[in-house]
Chains A and B, each alone.
Chain A
C-alpha cells in the first residue's frame, strides 16, 4: 500500500527522507558485504592476509575510525534534513494548526487575514504548495507522522513544534499518531487529502461557513435532538447554539470521509453506531454512549449529522 509508506514519497520533503533511507540501506549493504568478506578471509584467506586481520591496526581502522566517520556523516545529513523540513516556510505557505488530543486531532486552518477555520480529524491541503504545520498537544505527548509526505514530529504539551510538508499530486495520504498516548492510540489516525488548489479554495470557503439550515423534517428533528441531548456541551456546530470545545467540531461532519477518527467510513449508519456504541468502535474514547434515543430519533440525529456538508 502506498497510502502510508516512507518508501512511497509523494512530496519533496518525503522524497528527501526516502533518499536518506535508501542511502542508509546502501551503506548498510556495503558494510555487511565488507564484514562478511573479512570474516571469510580471516578463516580461509592466505596466511599473510589473516595475519593482517589479526593485528591491532584493523581494530583502529575498521572498529573506530570507519564507523566514527561514516556515522558522523550520516548523523550530520539526517540532522540537516530534519532541520530543512522544520525550516520557516515561504511567506505564502498555508498555515495549519494541529493539536493532538486523546484521541483525535483538533485542526485549524489559518487564513492570511488571521481568521481561523476549525476542523477535526481530517486535513485537506492544496497540491504543490508548502504547508506549514504548527503542532501542539492538549494533554500528553503525541506525534504527527504522515509517512508519504514527510518526517515525524512530536506534539508536546506546552510547546509548539513545526513541520513543513507538500504533496506533489492529489491523493489521500494516511497519517498516524506515532507516540503511544494511552487507550485507543492505535486508532488515532488521520487522513491528509491533497486536492488541486481551486478545489481546495472552494472547500475551505465552504468549511468556513456556518452549518446550513436543515432541509428535511428528519434533519430538523435531528438538530433539535442534538441540542436537547446535550451534544453541544462538547461539540460545536457553528450557526447553532452548540458551542462545546471539548470534542471535535462537527459543523461540516458530512464533508469528512470518516467517523470516529478514521475508524469507519462516514455514513449516517456509522454515525449512529458511534453515538450508541462508540466504546466498541474506539474503546476508551472519551465520548459516553448515548443510548437514550429511540430508533427513529437515532436515525434523525445521524441523518442530520451526516448531512452537515
Chain B
C-alpha cells in the first residue's frame, strides 16, 4: 500500500514538471513574453538580476590583485579614454547620460554613484570582461590589463570629481576639443572627432601627452605612424584604447594625422626630477649596448639617422617606454615587421636596464638638445 502511494506521488510530480516545461515552451513559442526594453522588468526580477550580477562580480574578482593606482599618469590616461570610450553611454560629471542611452535596459550605470559600490578589483573585472545581458562590452584586448587599470585608477577618483575637475583630468587644456584640434589640424569638420581623440592623449602643437603613459608622436616618421595605425586597425598590435580608434580612421585621415604629427617638433619634456645616475647608465646602454647580454645599442635603430620604419626615442616619455618594454618582455608584441626585430632584444632586457634606458630617452628632450631649459 505504502509503495503504491509513493509511486503515485512520484508520477504526479513528474507530470507536474513535464506540464511546466511544456507550458514554458508554449509561452516562449507563442511570443507573449515581451522583450521590449521599453517595458522594463518587474521590481522583483530587477532585484534578482542585480543580486546575481553583484555576487558574480564579487566572486570572480576575488583572485584579482590590484597594482598601485595612485599614479597621476594612470588616472589621466584612464580619464582620456573614458571620455571617448565610456562617457558616450555612461555620461560624465557635468554631462548626464544621453537621453537615448537612458532607454537601454538596463540603462548604463550612473557611474559617479555606482563606482563607489565596488572595489577596485571588481571594477577591473567588469571593465575587462563586460557584463552579459547588458550593453557593457568586454575590453578589446585580452592582454592589456595595464590599460584597464588606468581606467580603474580614474574610476576610483570619479565620485569626487565635479564637471570642472573631470574636464581638467580627461581633456586638460584642450577646452573644446572638436573646435581646437579641427583648427590645428586644418582638416574638414567631419574629421574633428577623430583628431580630438588623438589630441586628448597625445597632445598637439607644442603640447605633448599629458599622461606619461601615452607616447609622444611629435616628430615620429610618417611611415612609422602609418604602420602603427594599420597594426592597431587590423589587430596585429593590441590595445583596448587604440584598436577601436584606429579602426575608425580612414586611410586618408590616417595619412593626414600621421603627416601632422610627423611634422611637429618634439615637445619640451620636463625631466628635471630625473635620476642623473640612471640617465648616465641609460646613455651607456643606448650608445654602446650590452654585448655580454647580446643587447645591441638602442641608438643603432632608434637614433636620428635610422630607417623611418623604426621609432625615434629621443624625448619619449619614460613611463611609456617602460610600460611598452614590460609588455614586449611579457610577450605582448605587435605583429609588425619592425617589431619582430625588437622582440628578441626586449626579452633580454633586465628591469634595471629598462628603467635606465627609459630615463635616458626621456632626458633627451628638445630643451636638453638646445642646451638646457
Which of B295, B301, B337, B340 is in CB contact (< 8 Å) with A230?
B301
Contacts A230-B296, A234-B296, A246-B294 known; A292 to B309 CB distance under 8 Å?
yes
Query: In the complex, are the beta carbons of B341 and A288 less than 8 A apart?
Result: yes
Bound complex: CA of A245 vs CA of B289, how far in Å? 10
Closest to B344 in A: A288
Inside 8 A of A184's CB, which chain B residues have their CB?
none
B253 CB-CB contact with A under 8 Å? no
Cβ–Cβ contact A233 & B306, under 8 A? no
B345 and A288 form a contact (CB under 8 A): yes
Closest to A228 in B: B307
- The answer to whether residues A292 and B300 also contact, given A246-B291, A286-B294 and a CB cut-off of 8 A, is no
Number of A interface residues in the complex (CB < 8 A): 18
Residue of A nearest to B295 (CB): A246
Asked if B278 CB lies within 8 Å of chain A CBs, one says no
Shortest B334–chain A CB gap in Å is 13
Answer whether A233 and B340 are a contact pair too, CB < 8 Å, given A225-B307, A227-B305.
no
Rounded to whole Å, the gap between the CB of B136 and the closest CB of chain A is: 39
Q: Is A229 an interface residue (CB 8 A)?
A: yes
Name the contact of B291 in the complex, choosing from A229, A231, A245, A286 (C-beta under 8 A).
A245
Contacts A230-B310, A245-B291, A292-B338; A286 near B297 (Cβ below 8 A): no
Q: What is the CB-to-nearest-CB distance from B240 to chain A, in angstroms, rounded to a whole number?
A: 27
Residues of chain B within 8 A (CB-CB) of A286 are 294, 344
Minimum Cβ distance to chain A for residue B243 (Å): 23
**Number of chain B residues whose Cβ lies closer than 8 Å to a Cβ of chain A:** 21
Which listed residue, B291, B295, B337, B344, touches A292 by the CB 8 Å rule?
Answer: B337
For residue B343, CB closer than 8 A to chain A, the reply is: yes
Contacts A225-B307, A230-B301, A244-B300 known; A289 to B289 CB distance under 8 Å?
no
What residues on B are CB-neighbors of A232 within 8 Å? 300
From 253 to 309 in chain A, residues with beta carbon under 8 angstroms from any chain B beta carbon are 286, 288-292
Contacts of A290 on B, CB cut-off 8 Å? 337, 341
B345, closest chain A residue (CB): A288
- Complex Cα distance, B363 from A219, in Å, reads 37
Bound complex: CA A292 to CA B342 (Å)? 12
Cross-chain contact of B301 among A225, A229, A245 (Cβ < 8 A): A229
Interface centre among B294, B306, B310, B338 (most CB of A within 10 A): B294
Closest to A297 in B: B307
- A228–B295 CA distance with the chains assembled, in angstroms: 17
A232–B307 CA distance with the chains assembled, in angstroms:
13
- Check if A244 sits within 8 Å of B307, measured CB to CB: no
* Cα distance A233–B341 in the bound complex, in angstroms: 12
User: How far, in whole Å, are A230 and B296 apart by their CA atoms in the complex?
Assistant: 9
User: In angstroms, how far is the closest chain A Cβ from the Cβ of B353?
Assistant: 15
B306 touches A230 (CB 8 A): yes
Flag if A291 contacts B337 (CB, 8 Å).
yes
Do B341 and A289 touch across chains, with their CB atoms under 8 A apart? yes
In the assembled complex, how far is the CB of residue A249 from the closest CB belonging to chain B, in whole angstroms?
Answer: 13
> A292 touching B297 by the CB < 8 A rule?
no
How close is B230's CB to chain A, nearest CB, in angstroms? 14
B207 to chain A, nearest CB (A): 30
With a cutoff of 8 Å between Cβ atoms, the chain A residues found around residue B306 in the complex are 228-230
Closest beta carbon of chain B to A39's beta carbon, Å? 59
Instruction: Knowing A227-B305, A229-B307, A292-B307, say if A244 contacts B341 (CB, 8 Å).
Output: no
Closest chain A residue, CB of each to CB of B294: A246
**Quick one: CB contact mask for A208-244 with B, threshold 8 Å, 1 for yes?**
0000000000000000010111111110000000001
Complex formed: what's the CA distance from A245 to B291 in Å? 7
Note all chain A residues with C-beta closer than 8 A to B338: 292
Q: Whole-angstrom distance between the alpha carbons of A288 and B297 in the complex?
A: 15
From residue B102, how far is it (CB to closest CB) to chain A in Å? 50
Ranked 6 nearest A-B pairs via Cβ: A233-B296, A233-B300, A230-B301, A230-B300, A291-B337, A292-B309
Instruction: A228-B305, A230-B307 given; name 13 further pairs at CB < 8 Å.
Output: A225-B307, A229-B307, A230-B300, A230-B310, A233-B296, A233-B301, A244-B289, A244-B291, A246-B295, A288-B345, A289-B340, A292-B307, A292-B337
28 A–B pairs (Cβ distance < 8 Å), ordered by A: A225-B307, A228-B305, A228-B306, A228-B307, A229-B306, A229-B307, A230-B300, A230-B301, A230-B306, A231-B300, A233-B301, A244-B289, A244-B296, A244-B297, A244-B300, A246-B289, A246-B294, A246-B296, A288-B340, A288-B341, A289-B341, A290-B337, A291-B340, A292-B307, A292-B309, A292-B337, A292-B338, A292-B341
Write the residues of chain A forming the contact surface with B, with a CB cutoff of 8 angstroms. 225, 227-234, 244-246, 286, 288-292
